[in-house]
Amino acid sequence: MNTAALVLIAEDEPEIVDILKAYLHREGLRTAWAADGRAALDMHQALKPDLLLLDVQMPHLDGWRVLSELRARSTTPVIMVTAHDQDIDKLMALRVGADDYVVKPFNPAEVAARVQAVLRRSRGQDAQLRDVLRVGPMEIDLETFHARIERDGALQTLPLTLTEFRLLAHLARAPRRVFSRSELIAACLSSEGDRLERTVDSHLSKLRKKLEDAGLPGVPVSLRGVGYRLEDVA
């Protein structure tokens, strides 16, 4: 499953859309396009994008109307795009609920950078609302039992078993601490038949292989005769 963030571009000029798509794809993001304001609202409802790049001057419904209706039902981050470099427009955008503001003509590389910045802020706020652990590029969601690795702007979900997830989450609560095998067995292995040191070693070996496949080699670290720790993950 592709977990890269989805950016909905609401813009009626195809040339601008093509440029934005190229730069956002280069950042590892997915895109969708709505050519007018009404389509933007419909596609937002259907696709649940992670961010909306919203032009002000569009057919059917202008960007202000779209933003106003969107804020009545959603907290999706929005970056307004307009040809007017006026303080009143910037203030209006922020007052109605936009997260950022870009003026045409713009540098598409800057727009892509702003998109990434707003997505990072949004993910951080979501993590505060949920019970989420973050260690380096890892995001461990304790509510949904999903563990993800961020690489090149995209999130890759790790295919972990429940026991592997429990072990990773337990280690992530104190990444530099060394956990003994008996601690990990007591905290993460529910079945009496699995409560053996060689069993926890097997689970951690499989976890290490999956992290290595996702681009994080060598973790968790095994300290012979002592236990395991997650170590600093870069």
The alpha carbon dihedral of 79, 152, 46, 128 has a sign of negative
Is residue 170 located within the same domain as residue 197? yes
- Looking up tokens 């960007």 gives 63
Is residue 88 located within the same domain as residue 175? no
126: tokens are 């979501």
In a domain, residue 234? The reply is: no
pLDDT of residue 10: 97
Is residue 104 located within the same domain as residue 14? yes
Is residue 121 located within the same domain as residue 165? no
CA 218 to chain centre: 24
Residue from 180, 157, 179, 190 nearest 231 by CA: 179
Phi/psi-derived region of residue 152, left when phi > 0, alpha when psi is between -120 and 50, beta in every other case = left
Is residue 142 located within the same domain as residue 191? yes
Instruction: Walk along the chain (234 residues) and give the pLDDT tens digit of each residue.
Output: 345 789 999 999 999 999 999 999 998 899 999 999 999 999 999 999 999 999 999 999 999 899 988 887 888 899 998 877 666 666 777 777 888 888 888 899 989 998 988 888 777 655 554 578 888 889 888 877 889 898 777 788 999 888 898 899 989 888 888 888 888 888 887 654 455 678 888 999 999 999 999 988 889 999 888 899 987 676
SS3 138: strand
In a domain, residue 195? The reply is: yes
Is residue 121 located within the same domain as residue 13? yes
Is residue 17 located within the same domain as residue 106? yes
Which of the listed residues 84, 104, 129 is the one where a domain comes to its end?
129
Q: In angstroms, rounded to a whole number, what is the distance separating the alpha carbons of residues 230 and 169?
A: 10
pLDDT of residue 95: 72
Helix (H) or strand (E) holding 93: helix 87-96
CB 179 within 8 A of CB 170: yes
Q: In angstroms, rounded to a whole number, what is the distance separating the alpha carbons of residues 142 and 233?
A: 19
Is residue 137 located within the same domain as residue 115? no
CB 175 within 8 A of CB 133: no
Q: What is the pTM of this model?
A: 0.55
Range of the domain at 170: 133-229
Q: In angstroms, rounded to a whole number, what is the distance separating the alpha carbons of residues 231 and 215?
A: 15
In a domain, residue 1? The reply is: no
Which of the listed residues 98, 113, 129 is the one where a domain comes to its end?
129
Environment class of 58 (CB within 10 Å of its CB; exposed 0-12, middle 13-18, buried 19+)? buried
Residue from 46, 65, 45, 47 nearest 55 by CA: 65
CB 28 within 8 A of CB 4: yes
In a domain, residue 89? The reply is: yes
Which of the listed residues 129, 145, 164 is the one where a domain comes to its end?
129
Q: What is the CATH number of the domain that holds 122?
A: 3.40.50.2300
How many structural domains does the chain have?
A: 2
